[in-house]
Copies of this chain bind each other. A is one copy, B any other.
Amino acid sequence: MCGIVGYIGSKQAQNLLIEGLGKLEYRGYDSAGLAVYNGETIGIQKTEGRLSRLGERLNVQSLPGSLGIGHTRWATHGKPSDQNSHPHTDQTGRFAIVHNGIIENYIELKEELTAKGHVFESETDSEVVAKLLADLWDGDLVSTVQKAVARLSGAYALGIISEFESDKLVAVRQASPLIVGVGEGENFIASDIPAILKHTRNVYILEDGEMAILKADQVTLMKVDGTPVKRDVFRVEWDINTAEKGGYDHFMLKEIHEQPKAIRDTLAGRLKEHNVDLSHEIALSDEEIKSIDRIHFIACGTAYHAGLVGKYVMEEFTRIPVECDVASEYRYRNPIITDKTLVILVSQSGETADTLAALREARKHGAKVLAITNVVGSSIAREADNVIITWAGPEIAVASTKAYTSQLIAIYLLGVYFAQIRGSKTKAELEEVVHHLQELPEKAEIVLGEEKAIGQFARSIASNEHLFFLGRGLDYAVAMEGSLKLKEVSYIHSEAYAAGELKHGTLALIEEGVPVIALATQKSVYEKMVSNIQEVKARGANVLGLAQEGNTELIKSVNEVIHIPATLDLLAPVLTVIPTQLFAYYACQERGYDVDKPRNLAKSVTVE
């Protein structure tokens, strides 16, 4: 996920582009850059770090001119660095491009272009586009772009300028969002509407396989094969805040809804037919993977709860004993670590202070170290020997949602991958898992369809100050996460309990009307779970049950049931957590708090 902008008109482009990028920082913020045509050549400024850092550089050396493109990056291929920042150019500096998406065939293109003498400066997939334009240059920018695009597979929104035709800005869209803003004597491109909303409310929304040729006073739309496209201008009526959140009221809700995509993206490129292939990402050899005799999941907060699921998943797939601990405890308790221990650190930001310290502690004791993180180039990603990136894109809301589900996906992939190598599951078993993994994005969409019913229950209990989540096995792990989510944003004192443990003390707190969220998706403990539900029902609890599709029994024991689509019990957490996220969101709304910025909390905890 990255953000791109472009401007052509009569004003100075630089500040308009920076301003536009500022509205797209939710799409990425690990580096940024601009390319502006100054009447003779294309000037470039780009830097690792937040947009403000680019601003400082431009204060020292500005980029004059009225044609330009800009980019704010969320690293995918290649860590955040000055070199990997966009825009990218060809070797002569005559073509500059910004790109959002992934060029899947970039390795073969890079080899081909390198063989022809093009020298690459970055580790990105994007740079091939600039080199390809120079290679294919036929004296006409639009025709050259069309030829180049014909060579690309994957997803791309592109913004392109060239010294050769400085009256134009060319944009192309394939599977990554792109809009054209239509102004008075000036026109814009952007990944999203908020970037241009200050200047115009008239936009064209490009569709896949379409391109736009912008001049200062004209916009031409066509398919990439040159077929003209006729489209009405779309008049944006949203305010800027809503626009920034993609039409949702809050980032948290937007990010909950982004989960099908985050799951799909995290799976993408890692499934080869019915197998999982992580060999390009993980440095561990097959021999090393076979030698592992203990796994420790170490994390904080929501990521710790992903680790709790990880314990079940890895033990089930590999039969290696797994321990899961919070980083702030682990690092100080003199844990037992050998060179056969694999320590898996889970952190959305990759900067969580305790998790980073635990990583260093584990390395010091000779452990193999693997990180699951959402941020390429983060401290934890840099210091781990092995990294699995979760392709959730930037998470803005403090309460983590899509990062969690993506972490689960990464853990499943790792489990299957290890099981393939260790032979700890049959081929048929693993293929079944892969098959069901592929269905999860679609099933997550179906769960999101229950939003209204979940919202209603949440509003009905929002005045309570106490609430309990119950589950057994994997449902208990999800209950922990659902409970934390509710606490974080609604400040209801929620607590998760292993359902069988409740009667050893906490049952004393269950009285008439206390809301209980009972997760009952796991077949092997279903009957026991129903017994536990009856224990709380008998004391007057108001119970919302979560069950897999096809369960028609649970409703007899609870007040309301939300169903998730049927899947393997082992994979259910990915779906089960979504109703609990929506539940937290709507409970917060009903109570009137700021869901994106809970009191006392910060997004990424970089203190201990």
The reply to whether A503 and B465 contact each other, CB–CB distance below 8 Å, is no
Which A residues from 312 to 351 make CB contacts under 8 A with B? Answer: 312, 315-316, 319-321, 323, 326-329, 332-334, 336
Which residues of chain B have C-beta atoms less than 8 A from A601's C-beta? 503, 505, 507-508
Q: Does A120 contact B (CB under 8 A)?
A: no
- Compute how far the CA of A312 lies from the CA of B336 in the bound complex, rounded to whole angstroms: 11
Q: Mark A490-508, 1 if CB is under 8 A from B, else 0.
A: 0101010011110111111
Asked whether, in the complex, the Cβ of B332 is within 8 Å of the Cβ of A528, the reply is: yes
The answer to whether A509 and B493 have CB atoms under 8 Å apart is yes
Q: Which one of A472, A503, A539, A599 has the greatest number of beta carbons of chain B within 10 Å?
A: A503
**Is there contact, CB below 8 Å, between B507 and A608?**
no
A302 within 8 A of B: yes
A565-601 contact mask (Cβ, 8 Å, vs B): 1 or 0? 0000000000000000000000000000000001111
Contact with B along A470-492 (1 / 0, CB 8 A): 00110010000000100111010
Q: What total of chain A residues lie within 8 Å of the partner, measured CB to CB? A: 59
Given A507-B600, A601-B508, CB of A500 within 8 Å of CB of B334? no
Residues in B neighbouring A456, C-beta threshold 8 A: none
A301 close to B (CB within 8 Å): yes
Option from B320, B466, B608 in Cβ contact (under 8 Å) with A493: B466
Chain B residue numbers with a CB within 8 Å of A465 are 465-466, 493
Q: In chain A, residues 417-475, which have Cβ atoms closer than 8 Å to a Cβ of chain B?
A: 465-466, 472-473
Tell me if A175 is interfacial: C-beta within 8 Å of chain B. Answer: no
Is A294 among interface residues, defined by CB-CB distance under 8 A? yes
Is A524 interfacial (CB 8 A cutoff)? Answer: yes
Task: Give the distance to chain B from A532, nearest Cβ to Cβ, in Å.
Answer: 9
A510 at interface by CB-CB < 8 Å: yes
For A326, list chain B residues within 8 Å (CB). 498, 500-501
Q: Which residues of B contact A472 (CB under 8 A)?
A: 328-329, 332
Q: Is A605 positioned at the interface, with any CB of B under 8 Å from its CB?
A: yes
Closest chain B residue to A341, Cβ basis: B321
- CA separation between A355 and B294, bound complex, in Å? 25
Q: Is there a chain B Cβ closer than 8 Å to A354's Cβ?
A: yes
**Residues on B with beta carbons closer than 8 Å to the beta carbon of A229:** none
A300 in the interface (beta carbon within 8 A)? yes
Q: Which residues of B contact A294 (CB under 8 A)?
A: 321
Q: Which B residues are CB-close (under 8 A) to A600?
A: 503, 507-508, 510, 539
Q: Is the CB of A605 within 8 A of B503?
A: yes
The answer to whether A329 and B493 touch across the interface, beta carbons within 8 angstroms, is no
Q: Does A525 contact B (CB under 8 A)?
A: yes
CB distance from A541 to the nearest CB of B (A): 11
The answer to whether A488 and B466 touch across the interface, beta carbons within 8 angstroms, is no
**Are the C-beta atoms of A301 and B508 separated by less than 8 Å?**
no
Most buried by B among A476, A501, A524, A602: A501
Given contacts A329-B498, A333-B312, A500-B326, contact A599 B319 (CB under 8 A): no
Indicate if the CB atoms of B505 and A301 lie closer than 8 Å.
Answer: yes
Question: Is the CB of A95 closer than 8 A to any CB of chain B?
Answer: no
Cβ-based interface call for A531 (8 A): yes
Asked if B319 and A336 sit within 8 Å, CB to CB, the answer is yes
**Once the chains bind, are B495 and A525 in contact (CB under 8 Å)?**
no
Who on chain B is nearest to A605 by CB?
Answer: B503
Residues of B within 8 A of A607 (CB): 503
B599–A501 contact, CB under 8 A?
no
Chain B residue at minimum C-beta to C-beta distance from A499: B328
Instruction: Determine if A412 is an interface residue (Cβ-Cβ < 8 Å).
Output: no
Contact pick for A488, options B302, B487, B499, B505, CB 8 Å = B505
- Which of the listed residues A316, A320, A506, A510 has the most CB atoms from chain B within 10 Å of its own CB? A506
Does A106 lie at the interface of the complex (its beta carbon under 8 Å from any beta carbon of B)?
no
**Cα distance, A480 to B500, chains bound together (Å):** 17
Between A316, A484, A505, A524, the greatest number of chain B beta carbons within 10 A of the residue's beta carbon is seen for A505
Q: Verify if A304 is at the interface (C-beta below 8 Å from B).
A: yes
Task: Evaluate contact between A302 and B505: CB separation under 8 angstroms.
Answer: yes
Please judge, given known A-B contacts A321-B294, A328-B499, A505-B487, whether A336 and B315 are in contact too, CB under 8 Å.
Answer: yes
**Is A333 a contact partner of B473 (Cβ separation < 8 A)?**
yes
* Contact sample, A vs B, 27 pairs, CB 8 Å cutoff: A294-B321, A300-B500, A301-B501, A301-B504, A301-B505, A304-B501, A323-B323, A326-B500, A327-B500, A328-B500, A328-B501, A332-B472, A332-B473, A332-B524, A466-B493, A487-B506, A487-B509, A488-B505, A488-B508, A489-B508, A491-B508, A493-B495, A495-B495, A503-B601, A505-B601, A507-B600, A508-B599
Sorted nearest first, the 9 A-B pairs with minimum C-beta distance are A328-B500, A301-B504, A507-B600, A300-B504, A484-B505, A488-B505, A508-B598, A326-B501, A321-B336
